[in-house]
Structure 1
């Protein structure tokens, strides 16, 4: 079944949101890599940061092909996404990888649901730039190692994860209910008129991920 036709500005809105997410993720990972306890882990997060900026470039090029400046497409979402990162600065390596695991996964779930409304090639582009399983596998291994080394860390990281999901859902709510007709239409076209239902699914997926990492919901 083909995706419904959408106005170009709705497509631009979503591509702008995802592009900004990739750009900020690059900046965050590049900084957080300095928290790594050794060079191997530092390099691993650095490689992930490089992938993020590569994804940003693909999205920026697509926006340019649509005749839109990437800066203009991203501008409406700077407040919400920057607020999330500013309020969730990790204090150490364990918090940094937990943020990558929890925050990136929630963002991916949110975008994946909305992207169903896009036509090709934009739908596949958006799906292609979402994080693959290697990100989660790396983060889960690091979280479990931290808990194994000091079981008391589990409670701290569980509380941190709850804070992350609360902040992420709060900012996602700002995006989903923003007074931008094109983006609201895109959510509706994707079948996600019930924003509360969407957030419920995001929260359920988050709970499953915490269990996989050995943390408490």
Structure 2
């Protein structure tokens, strides 16, 4: 390799936007086409950014507590064996309460790529042409065949649904030294009963205390309560 070729190679390494160790598959290409002159190309914010920033093709107003579809006027073709996921940008969410609705772009979709934006604030939000409104992420996907069966394999979790795995188990020891399991929910109930017990004890102490001038203290007589005046 000549000196000129070596210098040229070094220059290419410096100007390359991708790290040297990053490998790109030969068939991993995201193709896009502009449907109108208003469309703007997606951009990658950093060499290892997971998503490509999508830009609005038009000025759009997102009403307070409302939603709107913001068109990019882009047509995309994701790599084979993947789909495109339209994800929110953290900056819009944190600063302006703007979120992105469901966004799945199938491998065979060729329509105008639109982004559903939700405005969770109490003020209208103005989107200008060229604003970065969402991220486009390519993710691998499987296309499994459907098979109907009479019964599925049993699992330890079973039919546990919402919150079924959200309660942590706590290991406690019984009086005989054996380990016992209780959940936080049970523990909370025990704590509540302890609080109630303390309340009852305070009532007992109040009964034994001598009343001050003008105060009345309830007395229990045959299951009934009467007021005794000092």
The structure carrying a bigger helix percent of its residues is 1
Compare CA radii of gyration and give the structure with the larger one: 2
TM-score by length of 1: 0.18
The structure carrying a bigger strand percent of its residues is 2
The structure showing larger relative contact order (alpha-carbon pairs under 8 Å, at least 6 residues apart) is 1
TM-score by length of 2: 0.17
